[in-house]
Structure 1
Amino acid sequence: MTTYLEAIREAIREEMEADPDVFIMGEDIGAYGGAFRITEGLLAEFGPHRVIDTPISEAAIVGAAVGAAHLGLKPICEMQFMDFVSPAFNVLVNFAAKVRYRTGVGAGLVIRGPCGAGVRAGPFHSQNVESYFANVPGLKMVAPATVRDAKGLLKASIRDPDPVLFFEHKYLYRRLKEELPQGGEILTPLGKARTHREGSDLTIVTYGAMVHTAAEAAERLASEDGAEVEIVDLRTLRPLDSEAILDSTRKTGRLLVLHEAPRFGGFGGELMAMACEGAFEWLDAPIRRLAALDTPVPYAAPLEDVHLPQVADVVSLAREQLSY
């Protein structure tokens, strides 16, 4: 069985084996193996010229990666926590995202790292930052929810000619396990959602760790209410598979948008707007949105549980919609 964490390591190793232009850089990723040990063993296998320990400067890491990408290399940048991508915001938003439009040459790099809450890591190591970048054309954003997708989407991201933000939910690192096929290649195209669970009464659109919260809620609704919930796992936030969202919403007539980031200004607002524009006449109930509270992520376990959407919250809101 392969864990979510191991699938990410496998993807990096396989891409480095297949293409000598692929290399990885970040803080403590060499001898230490990374904060979560994702890059463990890669230094011994590929050497210090392809597994590069950097200073503690995210702006320098991403800036150097952009330059390397322009020389034809394929850098993978590790953020110890995705919260700390903020020092690199300027080079990402004002250069990497726009350089293809300005020069015709893209910046093919991956910025990957752990995001999300649920592990009692407090306000500085638990954020979901996707909405910061959602309004920036030229950036791609990926949020895998399964072991297979963690591998397949990362491999596709590394091969992509434009900058990709790859959000690995740390809650899933060692909790998810899956049997991956031996031999052959796992490669998942960007921009294509997947149906995590088939249903006919309500659609839940979500991504990352919330896919599993939605799945648990759907099982409760099936056993206690006889309701069949369809779960659409977005996989990729930019480019977004809008047709998958609209098709499922038209099919069930009800939509619940679920994400872990705070509600105000969150990615869910765009999903709701899209559904209103493209599937309004099919709706049998108001669209609802469930997200984290508009506060920093608390450190104390009981407070963090209140902050985050829980299975019971999904069930309650779904029942409200199903009552129409």
Structure 2
Amino acid sequence: MISPLALTMGEPAGIGGEITLKAWRDHRQELPGFFLIDCPDRISRLASQLGWTVPVCPIEQANDAHDVFPDALPILEHPVTAGTPGQLSKHTAKSVITSIERAVSLTRSGEAAGVVTNPIHKHNLHQAGFNFPGHTEFLADLAGINTPPIMMLACDELRVVPLTVHVSLRDAIEELTTDLIVEKCKITARSLQERAGIKTPKLAIAGLNPHAGEDGDMGWEEIDMITPAIEQLKADGLDVFGPLPPDTMFHQEARQTYDVAMCMYHDQALIPIKTLAFDLGVNVTLGLPFIRTSPDHGTALGIAGTGQASENSLCAALKMAGEMAQRQLETQS
């Protein structure tokens, strides 16, 4: 049996607490064991305010979660100033950050099988001195890795990796290089082998320009930068092809020809997957020495505290983390 998963609290003013309650209440029989890093009293009050009967149980260490999980939501006690749904407060930022740090520490020590993160509000953390663009970069720093962290979004129909992430489109084009494409494709392929059980992952490489540049008529990046990366990857033994016109690589028939689409910038990757699976997408960080998944949505401050938020993406993130942990355990044994 794998260790329980560590689920972070996320932004207290957002929907993290309520989707966690709904995930345990309605889906615990189909989910891997997990524990929440949060304040038990805060979560109990939230359940009461929503009119939900959800038993919670404080635990002192991660391995207590398995015994508790069938009958109550296990919560590893974590101090936090109780936030009001929908109302951000910089006073909760430290608790949000240390919740992530504790989840990583417990996972790296083997006490937890992986990290699943509830959504954070990056701007609120930045105002409190958080010096990272988001979860992905912070997790890479905690892991002490020098290779660039990679965000993969996944659902049953599609996997996508944006090669550049939370930067402007102008900056994304400046960041793209042949070396960056090669490095991130190699990390992605290796991660799919080790944690998704795909022996020889097939990577589809998107073009940057309309019609993948149309032989230089609509841009030279495909010729000067992307095609050389593809040639190098093929020479190194990877199964890659492209560059593909981005407007024709995401329809149903095209998706059957690859395991993951490597995209040049944020929206090129996220628009198709959020169109296909808005409530079921999972954010996976590749290249870390531990498993990390997350719901593919934000804090949804506008509906926080109403009970309307869907727990489906969180459930998908928990399931995927559990499957990856099980596969990793089998590979190592």
Query: What's the TM-score, normalizing by structure 2?
Result: 0.32
Query: Which structure is richer in relative contact order (CA contacts within 8 A, separation 6 or more)?
Result: 2
Query: What's the TM-score, normalizing by structure 1?
Result: 0.32
**Greater helix percent: which structure?**
2
